[in-house]
């Protein structure tokens, strides 16, 4: 049995999507185009992941890129054993036709001077 608030879920999602596109649509990247670049990121003590620096050719900051990059680094560095490590991803970023962001390349742990392990 659906409730009165359930009647607004679909229209509200469509409205939110339209507003996002009208506000940030000019920042969307070309789909299927490969954008070379890198991400330098770290995993904190409480499993929070932080982008230190990132650069990708012709990729402006946008809500979509923010979501894609944080989903990616959370999978790479969000585990307990990764705490305190610094990582570097080198490769390409692209957006598929269905809107899913992909990072294709290699991620490695950056060795910090004066630090063991």
The pLDDT tens digits for 59-84 are 877 888 888 999 999 998 877 778 88
Can you give the pLDDT at residue 83? Answer: 83
Residue 33 lies in a domain: yes
CA dist 93 and 32 (Å) reads 9
Residue 43 lies in a domain: yes
pLDDT one-digit tens code per residue, 1-28: 567 667 667 777 776 766 666 664 545 6
Closest CA to 39 of 105, 111, 113: 105
Residue 92 lies in a domain: yes
Number of domains in the chain: 1
Can you give the pLDDT at residue 28? Answer: 62
Tell whether the model's pLDDT for residue 33 goes beyond 50: yes
DSSP state of 14: H
- The SS3 of residue 45 is coil
Residue 59 lies in a domain: yes
Residue 98 lies in a domain: yes
Residue 52 lies in a domain: yes
* Structural contact between residues 32 and 94, judged by C-beta atoms closer than 8 angstroms: yes
Strand extents, DSSP E, 3-100: 35-43, 49-56, 86-95
Q: What is the dihedral of CA 95, 98, 99, 102, to 10 degrees?
A: -40
Adjacency order of strands within the sheet including 49-56: 49-56, 35-43, 86-95, 101-110
Residue 6 lies in a domain: no
pTM for this entry: 0.71
- Domain range for residue 33? 29-110
Average pLDDT, the chain: 81
Can you give the pLDDT at residue 24? Answer: 46
Residue 99 lies in a domain: yes
């Amino acid at each position: 049995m659906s409730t009165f608030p359930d009647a607004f879920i679909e229209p509200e999602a469509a409205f939110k999507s339209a507003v996002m596109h009208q506000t940030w649509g000019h920042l969307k990247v070309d789909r299927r185009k490969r954008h070379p670049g890198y991400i330098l990121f770290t995993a904190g003590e409480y499993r929070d992941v932080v982008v230190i620096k990132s650069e990708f050719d012709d990729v402006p900051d946008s809500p979509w890129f923010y979501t894609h990059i944080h989903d990616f680094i959370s999978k790479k560095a969000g585990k307990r054993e990764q705490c305190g490590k610094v990582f570097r991803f080198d490769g390409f970023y692209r957006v598929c036709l269905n809107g899913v962001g992909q990072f294709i390349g290699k991620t490695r742990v950056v060795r910090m001077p004066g630090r063991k392990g």
